[in-house]
Structure 1
Amino acid sequence: MQKEKDNWYASWFNTPYYHILYKDRNHREAALFMNKLTTFLNLKPNDTILDLACGKGRHSKYLYKQGFHVTGVDLSEESIRYAKQYEKPNLHFKVHDMCLPYTQQFDAVFNLFTSFGYFENEVDNLRTIKAIKAELKPAGFGVIDFLNAELAIKNLMPSEQKKLGGIVFHIEKYVEDGYIIKNIRFTDQGEEYFYTERVRALTLEDFQAYFDEASVELKHVFGDYQLNKFNKNTSERLILIFN
């Protein structure tokens, strides 16, 4: 059986199976969110955006088409290798650890689609917040688009199956030691695979504690991609805007 090594995100995100499992993400919803967000932040054409943990560059490519200068970074070498085929003079992709400050400052730093809270060491969450602060121009804004952990736990589906790309994914979800765990098992070409996703069940209060320690000011909190007000009992997302 093939199982991930080291940090789960460093191995799982590098496999083609991750992209098969999540290939049906709603691109239209993502585009509408980017439009809402960039308008709300009053970003102008040619402003600079860092897409932090960009994956294969879905959001980066859309933002570039809207006239922004975009840099997409991710720890996954495989994802960045794929994204680089779309590079343009104002669209760049690089392998980068988001715990560390990037070598440039931006008008906005976006961390989207629950690309936070993976780390084994709690201090790395704080290091990431501090890195985002360092990556912002004086008037820039950081954005973290996270899940609403309280509602996600309440609505957790213990097990399900998904058939995608000719592969049947067996998925098990549960909460353990403050993490939302997703075990993923499947067989491809006679080989059995097992991967685990682990995301810390961070609440608004947890993020506020990080921000306080990093000397970051939380400006706005939204609960969905239409930027409606956050409600911990009903909102699917926890979208934080800070500087």
Structure 2
Amino acid sequence: MKWYETWFDSKYYHILYKKRNHKEAEKFIDNLILKLKINTNHKILDVGCGRGRHCIYFNKLGFEVTGIDLSKKSIDFAKKNETNSLKFFVHDMRKDFANEKYDIATNLFTSFGYFQNEIDNQKTINAINNNLKIGGVLILDFMNINKVKKTLKSQEMLKIDGINFYINKKITKSQIIKNISFKHKNKNYSYEERVQLLSINDFTKLINNSKMKIVDIFGDYQLKKYNNNTSERLILICKK
């Protein structure tokens, strides 16, 4: 199995990342809505939705939202929050989703670059494009690899819920590899995360190949302009 098929379905993944900043995520969405003039008539598809935190907030604001993710356990958890206008499905992001067309597609919090080749990356972007209406918008939120290369901690230990997570990170030519090891209930565990080092040039090629266009680029969740060296994030706004 691929690393993302085991790790994202593990309960320990959600323990390790339980302290994600939900207020920051909500403020990011608020900023996007204002900046891009998104209104509640727009239907949203969240690609790589995890347990649905972004979907749930969009829905609370009045949007009709669909979330898709490969992790069955994450989708099972997200489904507890379903409403008439909020639905979740297990789905491979490399494939077109149903026959629906959406006004907005989101791929947030580095939910891209998990595959090991450019073909799968292109399939993902093409599938998103195929699920957008003409004039639809893709919001893709990725890390700024230039900043990550400068600031990456090679080792750290995080204690969460009584578990000591030992995390080792390294950068190869094409990936950031994170090894996560810990012991729980007298059993040793080890997982891995691999995310491709995708630059703005890589994304530009992927987007252009899909016949979408990048219309704006932001560098953080406050939507400040992107700086290749100092920005925390690479947030692409793409139009079909």
Q: Which amino acid aligns with 2:62?
A: G
Residues 105 and 136 of structure 1 are in contact (CA less than 8 Å); yes or no, is this contact kept in structure 2? Answer: yes
Question: Where do residues 194-213 of structure 1 align in structure 2 (5 Å cutoff)?
Answer: 194-213=190-209
**Match of 2:15?**
20
* 2:88 matches 1:90: no
Q: Does 1:31 align with 2:19?
A: no
Aligned residues: 238
Displacement of 1:212 after TM fit?
2.0
Name the aligned partner's letter for residue 22 of structure 1: Y
The residue that corresponds to 1:70 in the other structure is 65
- The offset of 1:117, in angstroms, is 0.3
Query: Contact (CA 8 Å) 1:153, 1:180: kept in 2 or not?
Result: no
Q: CA–CA distance in 2 between the matches of 1:83 and 1:30?
A: 17
Code of the aligned partner of 1:194: S
Match of 1:81 in 2: 76
Cα deviation for residue 121 of structure 1 reads: 2.6
* 2:53 alignment partner, one of 47, 58, 70: 58
Instruction: Tell whether the 8 Å contact from 1:56 to 1:83 is kept in structure 2 after alignment.
Output: yes
Report the AA paired with residue 145 of structure 1. D
Gaps of 5+ in 2: none
- Residue correspondence of structure 1 range 39-50 to structure 2 within 5 A: 39-50=34-45
Question: Is contact 1:147-1:238 (8 Å) kept?
Answer: yes
Deviation at 1:82, TM superposition (A): 0.6
Deviations 1:142-198 (A, max 9, x none): 011000011101111010000001100000001123101110000111111111100
Name the TM-score, length of structure 2 as normaliser.
0.97
Deviations 1:38-64 (A, max 9, x none): 222211113210011000010000000
Q: Note if contact 1:99-1:128 (Cα within 8 Å) is conserved in structure 2.
A: yes
Superposition CA RMSD, Å: 0.8
In 1: Cα distance, 2:35 partner to 2:91 partner: 28
Stretches of structure 1 that go unaligned for 5 or more consecutive residues are 1-5
Q: Counterpart of 2:44 in 1: which secondary structure? A: strand
Structure 1: which 4+ aligned runs deviate by more than 2 Å? Answer: none
Paired position in structure 2 for 1:169 = 165
Aligned ranges 1:107-122 → 2 under 5 Å: 107-122=103-118
Structure 2 CA distance, aligned partners of 1:127 and 1:138?
Answer: 19
Q: What is the rounded CA distance, in whole Å, between the counterparts of 2:77 and 2:228 in structure 1?
A: 37
After TM superposition, give the deviation of residue 105 of structure 1 in Å.
0.9
TM-score (norm 1): 0.96
Aligned partner of residue 49 in structure 2, secondary structure: coil
- How far has the Cα of 1:122 moved from its partner? 2.0
Does the CA-based 8 Å contact 1:45-1:68 persist in structure 2?
A: yes
How much has 1:65 moved relative to structure 2?
0.3
1:95-133 alpha-carbon deviations (Å, 9 max, x no partner): 011011112111100000000000023210011111111
